Amino acid sequence: MFRKKRLSSRKKKKPNDGLNAALIFCVVFAVLFTIAMVVIFCIYQSTPDVLIGAVFTALFGELGCCTLIYRVKYRKELKEINETEDEGDVC
């Protein structure tokens, strides 16, 4: 029993730093890309439509993957919390 507590205390939950970093990167990149496309439009009076579509599709795909990862982790943590609460209720 002591060993279980010791192992579980060593395994601390880290916040979703990687997911937060990916989210911040995607937002900053989207803003910078939009500014660059506005500048290109002002200079050349046209924009590369295919490039814009591809970039925003990739960004939304990345954010969708991050959302899926976050939801799976969140549900797993909720399930673990509920299981530990149920173990304590046994009479």
Q: Does residue 79 belong to any structural domain of this protein?
A: yes
Give the residue carrying structure tokens 């924009």.
47
Tell me the pLDDT tens digit for each residue of 6-64: 555 555 556 667 788 888 999 999 999 999 999 999 999 999 999 999 999 999 999 99
Which one is predicted more confidently, 40 or 2? 40
Cα 40 to Cα 38: distance, rounded to the nearest angstrom? 5
Q: Does residue 9 belong to any structural domain of this protein?
A: no
Cα 58 to Cα 49: distance, rounded to the nearest angstrom? 14
Q: Which residue segment(s) compose the domain that 44 sits in?
A: 17-88
**CA–CA–CA angle 37, 27, 64 (5° rounding):** 110
